Chains A and B, each alone.
Chain A
Amino acid sequence: MVLLLIVLMIQCRQKESPSDPDSGIYQPTPYILQVPQGFPQPYISSDNPLTNEGVDLGKRLYSDAILSSNGLSCSSCHYRSKSFSTPYYITPDGDKISIPPHVNLVFNPDYNWNGSVTKLETLPMGDFEPQFFNTNADTLFYRLSHHSLYPELFYKAFGITNFYTLSYEELKMTICKALTQYLRTLISADSKLDRYQLKGGTLTQQERDGMDVFFSERGDCFHCHGYPLFTDNLYHNNGVDDQFIGQNAGRNLITHAASDLGMFSTPTLRNIELTAPYMHDGRFNTLEEVVEFYNSGVKFSRTIDPIMTKPGKESGLQLTAYEKSSLVAFLKTLTDTSFISAK
C-alpha cells in the first residue's frame, strides 16, 4: 500500500510538470486553433502540429533579433499595424515586390505571388540569408544556448536538450517550425464586414453600395475575392501587364507553362486598407488606383483571365465615380482592428 502511494505521488508530480528537462519528459500541449465560422479547414503540416509551447516560442522569435546579425527580426519588416506586412522589398536583381501580409496563411495551400513555396515551414528559411537577417550560424548557436529562456522553451516545444546536437540546417528548420506555428495562429475574421454579416453590425449606406458593386456583376470582385477568405487561392492574370518579363511572368516562373504567364496568386483583401502598395510589384499606392485600374486599365493578353473579358467591359468595369468611391469604402470594411491591436 505504501509503495502504491509512492508510485501515485511520482506520477502526479510528472503530470504537473509535463515538459521538464530534468525529468526527461517532453509533452507539448496541443494548441486548439479557433477556426472562424464559415472558414475552411486549416492547412497544418503533419510534421509540425500546433502546440501551445511551439506557438509561444514562435511568437517570441518573431520579434526577437537574436536570429540576425543586423538587429532585424521578422517584426522589423512585418508590422502588426500593417497586418504583418511591409510596403515592399527590392530584390538583389532590382525587382520591387509587394510583401504579402501574414494574415490567414493557415488557409493558404501555397505562398508568395507565384506560389513558389508550398510548405509554410520553408517560407521563413530564406530570412536567414544575407539580404535579410544575415544570420551567423556560430553566433546563433551560442546565443540560443546561453539565453535565459530559449533552452527551456525549445525543449518544451520540440524536445531539444542541446542545440549543438543539431546541424545548422536542422536548427534553422526548428526555428522555422516555431515561427510557422505562430504564423498559423494569425487569423483575421473580425472586420467591420464580419460583424455586419454575422453579429448584427452596421455598414454605412455607401459601404453597402460598395458591397453591392463588389458582390455583383457590376464589379465582379467576388469571383476571385469571395467571402470569407477574400481570396480564392488560385492564380489569375488580371490584366496588369501584357508583357511578361522578369518577375512579371508570375506563376510561369515556377511551372514554365506558357498558359501561366502573367498569373499571380489572388491576394486576400482582408486588411487591404493597411497593406499598400498593391499588386505583385507594388505599382499601385492607393486603393483608388487599384479600382481605377480595374475600371479602365486592364491589359489584354493570351492568358488574360476569362472573367476579365465580359462583354461591354473590354476596357474595364466602367464604374461611376460614386461606385468607385463606394467600392473603396467597402474595401475598408475588411479591416480587422482587433487583429492589428491584439498582443
Chain B
Amino acid sequence: MRGLLIYLVTGLMFVSFSSCKRDHKDTPKPVVITPIKVDMSFNVNGIPLLFDTIQFQNLAGNSFSVTRLDCYISNIEITSVTGVVYKSTKLFYVSARDTSTHHFTVSDLPLAGITSFKCKIGLSASQNISNSLIPTPANLNMAWPDNMGGGYHFLKLEGHYLTSNLQVFGFAMHLGENKNLVENAISATLTETQVSGGIKLTMDVAKWFDVPNKFDLNKTNYTMGIDSLMILLSQNGNNVLSINN
C-alpha cells in the first residue's frame, strides 16, 4: 500500500512537471495589458468650473453660468515613446456635474509613456447608432431623435448668460450628427510612471465659445438643428482639451 502511494505521488509529480514544461514550450503566456486611467476635470479659462452662478466670461464678453455639461469621450489614441500607436474603441459618458464619471479606465490601451494623446468628443459613426448603447439613464437622456439623424448627442452644454440689457437668458449648445464629431489631438510627453497615476485630461469650457469661432450668446445661444452653427461649435471643440499632469 505504501509503495503504491509512493508510485502514485511520483507519477503525479512527473505529470505536473511535464505539463509545465509543455506549457512553457508550446503555450505562449498571455500579454498582460495594464490599462490606463483618465481623470477629467473642468474649468473655465483656468477657473475651476462651478455650476449655476453667472461668474464666467467668454471672449465675446458674455457673462455666463453652466448648468449642464454632458459629453462622450471616445476612441482614445495614444502614441507611445517608442512610436507605437495604440487605439481604443471604448467610449465614456462624462457629466461635469457627476464626479463619478470623471474617472475612467481605458481597458484596451496598455500602460506606457506617451508623446501624444488623441480622442473624440462624441461617438464615431459606427458607435453613433440609435439604441446601440446600454440604456442607462445617461445614455437615454443623450439620445438624438431619429428624425433628426438618430444616434446620440455628442455634447450638451447649457447654462444662463446676461444679455446685453442685463436680463438673464439661457443658452443650449448641443452637438450631434456624425459630421460634427469633434477631434482633439494633444501633444503631451508623459513617462510611464506619470501615465500610471492617471492622465489628467482637462476641458476648458470657455473654449467652446471662443476659438476659432467666437460665439456671442446674444446672437447665438442655441445650436441644435442648425447645421452651420453645429459645425462652428465642433470646430471650437478641437481645442477644448488639454493634459495637465
Contact = CB atoms under 8 A, between A and B. Distances in A.
B147 A306 contact: no
B131 A38 contact: yes
Contacts of B52: 257, 259
Interface string A166-181: 0000000000000000
A206 to B, nearest CB: 16
A234 B156 CA distance: 14
B158 interface: yes
Interface stretch (A91-99, A142-150, A152-160, A308-316): A308-316
Contacts of A310: 172, 222
A105 interface: no
Interface in A239-271: 257, 259
A233 interface: yes
Contacts of B160: 302, 306
20 contacts: A38-B131, A40-B135, A40-B140, A41-B136, A215-B148, A217-B224, A226-B140, A228-B140, A232-B137, A232-B140, A233-B137, A259-B51, A302-B168, A306-B159, A306-B172, A307-B170, A308-B170, A309-B170, A311-B221, A311-B222
A309 B148 contact: no
B152 to A, nearest CB: 11
Contact of B158 (A233, A300, A307): A307
A222 B141 contact: no
Interface residues of B, number: 28
Nearest to A36: B135
Nearest to A232: B141
B137 A306 contact: no
A212 interface: yes
> Chain A binding site: helix, strand, loop or mixed by DSSP?
loop
A291 interface: no
B42 interface: no
Contacts, number: 69
Interface in B127-148: 131, 135-137, 140-141, 143, 145-148
A309 B51 contact: no
Interface string B110-129: 00000000000000000000
Top-5 shortest CB links A-B:
A306-B170, A309-B170, A259-B52, A217-B225, A215-B145
A216 interface: yes
B169 interface: yes
Contacts of B224: 217
A304 B170 contact: yes
Interface residues of A, number: 30
Contacts of A232: 137, 140-141
A196 interface: no
Contacts of A228: 135, 140
A41 B51 CA distance: 28
B67 interface: yes
B171 interface: yes
Contact of B169 (A233, A234, A309): A309
Given A41-B136, A212-B147, A217-B225, A306 B141 contact: no
Contacts of A305: 170
A229 B170 contact: no
A334 B150 CA distance: 21
A39 B147 contact: no
A193 to B, nearest CB: 13
Contacts of B135: 38-40, 228
A305 B156 CA distance: 13
Nearest to A259: B52
A258 to B, nearest CB: 8
B156 to A, nearest CB: 9
B143 A227 contact: yes
Given A215-B148, A311-B221, 4 more contacts: A305-B170, A307-B170, A309-B171, A310-B222
A99 B130 CA distance: 33
Contact of A40 (B68, B137, B147): B137
Nearest to B146: A215
B140 A229 contact: yes
Contacts of A227: 140, 143
